[in-house]
């Protein structure tokens, strides 16, 4: 069912998620975008299949359709197989946290560019609706709407399409532009009294990518510890 997987990664959450997908589904090859350390780690592991673990990395701008095509071409050529699993976590967050009225057209444009499994990472901010996150939340809401329609358009293919919507996660993008006081305030808003970590998100992504996720389709699944 899983065969070879194409996992496109671009931020802190993805580093741990890529490892999770690999370790939980040893039959998958891993295709990582922009996180250069991961392929070396995986390819250095002891062999777990006949050919051993395999991973490659390709850098591209996913807002350019031709470069997206090149990503899939590279994966299919390297692994001699179609892509069966896609995990996409592209996102742009303005560290100035402007109000919607103060978000320039250029910043809106930059934020919005952007038998298997399609798993898209969005954000619980589409429900949290915090001031300063207007363009970011709108871009993620657009992805959530698209995946609901995509799940219906993929009828008969056996391909599922879902979104995972994390809350605040301790990554480089989260900390950018925030003082320690702001970070502490955000942590205090969560019932667990902390900011989320990548280990809180990866089990859900791994489950959706596996056989057990077959009957979950067209869904937006929050994973935020009760933050929203």
Residue with tokens 């067209």: 218
In the predicted structure, residue 194 carries a pLDDT above the cut 80: yes
What the block records as the tokens of 66 is 């031709």
The band of 1, judged by pLDDT with boundaries at 50, 70 and 90, is very low
Question: How far apart, in whole angstroms, are the C-alpha atoms of residue 81 and residue 149?
Answer: 27
- 201 φψ region: left (φ > 0), alpha (ψ -120 to 50), beta (else): alpha
Q: What is the pLDDT of residue 12?
A: 46
Instruction: Indicate the average pLDDT of the chain.
Output: 76
User: What Rg do the C-alpha atoms of the chain give, in angstroms?
Assistant: 18
Provide the 8-state DSSP code for 160.
E
Is 31 known to be catalytic?
A: no
Q: Tens digit of pLDDT for each residue in 89-145?
A: 666 556 666 665 666 767 656 654 546 888 999 999 999 898 888 998 999 999 999
Range with lowest mean pLDDT among 33-42, 129-138, 162-171, 199-208: 33-42
Contacts of 214 (CB under 8 A, 6+ apart): 160
The domain covering 6-223 belongs, at the CATH homologous superfamily level, to NAD(P)-binding Rossmann-like Domain (3.40.50.720)
Q: What is the pLDDT of residue 9?
A: 40
Measuring CA to CA, how many Å separate 72 from each of 64, 84, 116?
13, 11, 14
Q: Tens digit of pLDDT for each residue in 5-15?
A: 444 444 444 44
Range with lowest mean pLDDT among 29-43, 48-62, 164-178: 29-43
Contacts of 90 (CB under 8 A, 6+ apart): 8, 10, 62, 63, 114
Residue with tokens 């780690």: 41
Segments making up each domain of the chain, as ranges: 6-223
User: For residue 30, which of 60, 51, 8, 61 has the smallest C-alpha distance?
Assistant: 8
What the block records as the tokens of 227 is 């933050």
What the block records as the tokens of 188 is 């205090």
Question: How far apart, in whole angstroms, are the C-alpha atoms of residue 55 and residue 96?
Answer: 36
State the catalytic residue, choosing from 31, 97, 136, 227: 136
């Amino acid at each position: 069912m899983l065969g070879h997987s194409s996992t496109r990664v671009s931020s802190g959450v993805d580093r741990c998620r890529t490892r999770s997908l690999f370790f939980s589904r040893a039959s998958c090859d891993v295709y990582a975008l922009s996180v250069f350390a991961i392929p070396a780690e995986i390819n250095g592991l002891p062999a777990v299949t006949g050919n051993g673990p395999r991973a490659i990395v390709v850098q591209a701008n996913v807002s350019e359709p031709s470069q997206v095509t090149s990503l899939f071409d590279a994966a299919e050529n390297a692994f001699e197989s179609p892509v069966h699993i896609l995990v996409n976590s592209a996102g742009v967050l303005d560290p100035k946290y402007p109000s919607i009225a103060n978000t320039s057209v250029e910043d809106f444009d930059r934020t919005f560019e952007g038998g298997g499994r399609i798993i898209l990472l969005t954000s619980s901010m589409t429900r949290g609706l915090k001031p300063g996150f207007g363009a970011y939340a709108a871009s993620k809401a657009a992805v959530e709407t698209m995946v609901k329609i995509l799940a219906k358009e993929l009828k008969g293919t056996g391909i599922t399409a879902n979104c995972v919507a994390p809350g605040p996660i301790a990554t480089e993008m989260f900390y950018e532009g925030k003082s320690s006081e702001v970070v502490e305030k955000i942590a205090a808003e969560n019932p667990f009294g902390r900011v989320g970590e990548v280990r809180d998100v990866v089990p859900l992504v791994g489950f959706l990518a596996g056989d057990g996720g077959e009957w979950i389709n067209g869904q937006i699944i929050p994973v935020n510890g009760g933050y929203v």
